Every structure is written in C-alpha cells, then in structure tokens.
C-alpha cells in the first residue's frame, strides 16, 4: 500500500513548512512551482516538484495525493490552485481524502476590536480580502460539485523562523507602526500547519476554521516587548499613514479584530504550541 501523500499547491513559507511536517509524519510530499530553480530546490529536500503549467504532471500529482493543500493566494481571476487542480482532478478521476484551502482572516474586515467567529458575516475591507471570500466560495462549491471534502482555514499574520519581529530587530529594519486601538492575532507557522494536520485526521466537509493564537495584541506592544527582551533600544516609530509604510502594510492595518480559535480546538482537538506571541518569539530567540 502506498504511503499517504500530501500535494501542496504553492511552495511558499507555509507550503514548505507543511511539506516538511508531512515528511516528519512519514508521508511523501509534493509541491508546485513554476520556477525551475525552485523545483530543483524542492527536489533537493525530497519534496517532489510539480510544474503547475504541465497538465500531465498535475494529473499524475493529484492521482498520487491522499491530501491536497492550497496555499497560493488568489488573483484577479480567482484561485490559481482551483484553476489548475479542478481539471486535473476531473481528468484523472482522482478522489483525495482531504482538500484544504488556506484563506485569511481578512475576509472578516474591520470589527473595531470585537471578537470574530467562523459563522460571522464576511465583510472584507480590502481587494485581497474580497478575493479570499470569492476563493473560499469557489472551493466549497467545487467540493460539493465533485463530492470532495474541502476545508477552509482562515489565518492571520504568520510568523516563525526567519519571519518575525525578532529577525527585523536583528537586521535593523524594525519599526513600530502606530495605529491607536488596532489589535489582531497572529499564528506561528508550526501551529498553522499543526491545525491542518489535525483536520486531516478529523475531516468535515465544508469545515471552516480560524487558526490563530490565544492572545490578540497590538503591533507596538509586541515589538516593544521583543526589543526589551533582546536588550535592544525601541525601534523608530511611524504612523500607519506615513508614506514610508508600504501599501501592503497599510492594508494590514485597516482591520482591527480579535479572532476566536475555539472551534478548531473543540472540533479538531488542536492546541497551539505557542498560545501567545511571547512563547513564539521566545522560540525565535534561540534560532
């Protein structure tokens, strides 16, 4: 009997973390990339590379996959993963046990610091959030149409090794972006991946889960704590509307909300290893 296999559409930070976790669990892993150099890098890690523009390769990949995870963000035409995977699934007759689509808590929009739950109405305040809303609906429709178990994961900002305020403080690029009253959650990459594997073990068709930490906090509090913990001076401050703040970062600061992870804990038996950003950043200090 073949080993369980995870196919990841989108070999970015989260996707590679999921592939490595699959390998640790004794699964085989495959991941898509249009870049030949990136595919060579995947192969060097023992992750089977797949060119998403190669129809035959995509069909072979879905036939071999017991689970499929889509991490690539949507574009103006919708989800690129759905465009590539839907015809591959139909043409191959493959029937994976589980499909996970990674979305964003941006689908909720701004809640003025209030708590948000999975069944709340979606009110995306940005183009990117609106695209996520559409992609979620498209994947759920596709799952019902093909009889597949599709799960939706809504994630806030992801941090972890090589991607945290610790790294920015170390390289001198850190700034405190001020927006009074703005609050949000985060999730350590290992906890995000852990929630997805918990779902693979307990799949529910159409299941939607917030994967986030237990303690929403403002960005300036987190940055100041990290600088103090590292014995560094507080980084320079800038208002969120300052021209030096990128458009992407400014969009991030549009929303203020507290995200509940109670459903993931109750239904999936998931518990974050890093329940707050303090534990997560402490782990980065030793890397």
CB-based contact 30:16 (threshold 8 Å):
no
Q: Kindly indicate the confidence band of residue 5, based on its pLDDT and cuts at 50, 70 and 90.
A: very high
pLDDT tens for residues 106-120? Answer: 999 999 999 999 999
Question: Does residue 246 form part of some domain?
Answer: no
d(CA 218, CA 228): 16
The answer for residues whose C-beta is within 8 angstroms of residue 1's C-beta and 6 or more apart is: none
- Total structural domains within the chain: 1
Question: Does residue 179 form part of some domain?
Answer: no
pLDDT for position 2: 64
pLDDT at 240 over 90: no
pLDDT at 43 over 50: yes
Question: Does residue 245 form part of some domain?
Answer: no
CA distances from 100 to 200, 206, 216 (A): 9, 10, 25
Question: Does residue 207 form part of some domain?
Answer: yes
Q: Which of 7-11, 32-36, 235-239, 260-264 has the lowest mean pLDDT?
A: 235-239
d(CA 129, CA 104): 7
159: tokens are 């941090």
CA distances from 250 to 57, 96, 111, 246 (A): 39, 39, 17, 6
Residues 5-16 have a mean pLDDT of 97
248 vs 65, more confident: 65
Which structural domain range is residue 269 located in?
A: 5-160+184-215+257-275
pLDDT at 231 over 60: yes
Sign of CA dihedral 205, 79, 254, 109: negative
Q: How does 165-191 read in b/e, with b if 16+ C-beta sit within 10 Å?
A: bbbebeeeebbbbbbeebbbbbbbbbb
d(CA 194, CA 276): 15
210 sits in which H/E element: strand 208-210
241: tokens are 């509307």
Q: At what angle do helices 277-285 and 219-229 cross, to 10 degrees?
A: 40
CB-based contact 51:19 (threshold 8 Å):
no
φ, ψ (nearest 5 deg) of residue 55? -60, -40
Question: Does residue 205 form part of some domain?
Answer: yes
Nearest-10 Cα torsion for 49, 50, 56, 60: 70
d(CA 233, CA 125): 35
Question: Does residue 248 form part of some domain?
Answer: no
Q: Kindly indicate the confidence band of residue 1, based on its pLDDT and cuts at 50, 70 and 90.
A: very low
Residues 240-245 have a mean pLDDT of 82
Q: Do the strands 48-50 and 150-155 form a parallel or antiparallel pair, or are they unpaired?
A: unpaired
Q: What is the CATH number of the domain that holds 264?
A: 3.40.50.720
Averaged confidence pLDDT in the chain:
94
Question: Does residue 172 form part of some domain?
Answer: no
- Total-model pTM: 0.95
d(CA 239, CA 152): 34
Q: Kindly indicate the confidence band of residue 259, based on its pLDDT and cuts at 50, 70 and 90.
A: very high
91: tokens are 């043409």
**Residue 230 burial (CB count, 10 A):** 14
Question: Does residue 222 form part of some domain?
Answer: no
d(CA 192, CA 285): 20
């Amino acid at each position: 009997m073949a080993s369980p296999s995870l196919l990841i559409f989108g070999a970015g930070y989260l996707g590679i973390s999921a592939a490595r976790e699959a390998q640790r669990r004794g699964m085989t892993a495959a991941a898509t990339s249009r870049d030949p150099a990136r595919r060579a890098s995947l192969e060097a890690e023992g992750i089977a590379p797949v060119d998403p523009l190669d129809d035959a390769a995509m069909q072979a990949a879905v036939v071999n996959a017991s689970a499929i995870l889509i991490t690539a963000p949507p574009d103006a035409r919708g989800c690129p993963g759905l465009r590539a995977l839907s015809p591959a699934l139909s043409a191959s007759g493959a029937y994976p046990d589980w499909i996970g689509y990674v979305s964003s808590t941006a689908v909720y929009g701004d809640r003025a610091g209030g708590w948000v739950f999975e069944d709340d109405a979606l009110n995306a305040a940005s183009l990117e959030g609106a695209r996520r809303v559409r992609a979620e609906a498209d994947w759920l429709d596709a799952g019902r149409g093909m009889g597949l178990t599709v799960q939706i994961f809504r994630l806030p900002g992801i941090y972890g090794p090589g991607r945290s305020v610790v790294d920015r403080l170390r390289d001198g690029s850190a700034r405190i972006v001020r927006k009074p009253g703005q609050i949000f959650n985060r999730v350590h990459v290992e906890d995000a991946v852990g929630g997805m594997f918990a779902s693979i073990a307990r799949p529910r068709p159409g299941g939607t889960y917030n994967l986030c930490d237990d303690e929403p906090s403002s960005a300036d509090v987190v940055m100041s704590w990290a600088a103090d913990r590292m014995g560094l001076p507080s980084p320079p401050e800038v208002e969120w509307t300052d021209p030096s703040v990128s458009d992407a970062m400014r969009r991030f600061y549009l929303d203020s909300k507290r995200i509940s992870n109670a459903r993931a804990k109750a239904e999936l038996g998931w518990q974050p290893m890093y329940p707050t950003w303090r534990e997560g950043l402490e782990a980065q200090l030793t890397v």
